[in-house]
Amino acid sequence: MIKVALVDMDGTLYDSMPLHSRAWHRLTGELGIKADEDEFYLDEGMTGAATLNKLAMSAWGRTFDKAECDELYARKARYFREYDAPEVMKGARRVIDGLMARGIKCVLVTGSGQNSLLDRLDDDFPMAFPVDRRVTSRDVVNGKPHPEPFLRGAAIAGAAPEECVAIDNAPLGVESAYRAGVRTIGVCTGPIPPEVLKNAGADLVYSSMDALADDLDGALGIKQ
């Protein structure tokens, strides 16, 4: 019986991934690192520091030190804020309202530390994600695809992994939830094809948040 929903933020609650990709691409251009704008969708869910170190390893065979990571992530976050604020993902409110109406406790599980979005959650999804029910990049040692973020989300809700369902749009997020032993729902909201989310361990894959909202009982394993 599902008691808790562990919900990703970027690309799941907000249509923010095109802007993150744009901001990362701008930063890599400045650093002289060749990158395709769409490749950042594959890294989605990793912490900023993990993404930066992956880029530095591939370009120069080294990692950034903490001060460099902090400066570069702050720069990327600044670029993200300069763009028009992202919209709430179509269908996301229906999913969250449906979960809450079924008495399912929501917990945010994001690799992000971007306050410009975290600060909007209370307005955009009232009562759904109180601050003590959020796992962000600041709360974990190992980000997605490591299982720690979803295990931590389950723990702060006082639930066992098998009492939780995860909702995530990214392959690394799905992998993280799968490795945490959580029933995992992948949602295709960007350029990543459904097979990639299936292969990462998703039990179910939906084509949009609206499609998930339409089949919420089925997704939660609730028999009609």
Residue 117 or 213: the one with the smaller Cβ distance to Mg ion is: 117
- What sections of 4-65 are H helices per DSSP? 17-31, 48-60
Q: Is 43 in the site for Mg ion (CB under 5 A)?
A: no
Q: Is 15 in the site for Mg ion (CB under 5 A)?
A: no
Interface pick for Mg ion out of 2, 10, 72, 185 (rule CB under 5 A) = 10
Q: Which helix (H) or strand (E) holds 167?
A: strand 164-168
Residue 16 or 28: the one with the smaller Cβ distance to Mg ion is: 16
Residue 67: CB minimum distance to Mg ion, A: 27
Q: Scanning the structure block, which residue is given the tokens 């993990």?
A: 50
Give the integer Cα–Cα distance in Å for 182 and 57: 31
- Angle (CA) 88-90-94 rounded to 5° is 95
Q: Which helix (H) or strand (E) holds 205?
A: strand 204-206
Residue 41 or 64: the one with the smaller Cβ distance to Mg ion is: 41
| Number of chain residues interacting with Mg ion (CB under 5 A) | 5
Residue 174: CB minimum distance to Mg ion, A: 10
Residue 223: CB minimum distance to Mg ion, A: 29
For Mg ion, the binding residues in 150-169 under the rule CB under 5 A are: 169
Residue 17: CB minimum distance to Mg ion, A: 7
Phi, psi of 12, rounded to the nearest 5 degrees: -120, -60
Q: Which residues, other chains included, contact 18 with Cβ-Cβ below 8 Å and sequence gap of 6+?
A: 190
Size of the chain in residues: 224
Q: Is 11 in the site for Mg ion (CB under 5 A)?
A: yes
- Angle (CA) 51-54-57 rounded to 5° is 150
Residue 13: CB minimum distance to Mg ion, A: 9
Residue 64 or 117: the one with the smaller Cβ distance to Mg ion is: 117
Q: Is 170 in the site for Mg ion (CB under 5 A)?
A: yes
Sign of the Cα pseudo-torsion (95, 100, 106, 112, in order): positive
Q: Is 91 in the site for Mg ion (CB under 5 A)?
A: no
Residues that bind Mg ion (CB under 5 A): 8, 10-11, 169-170
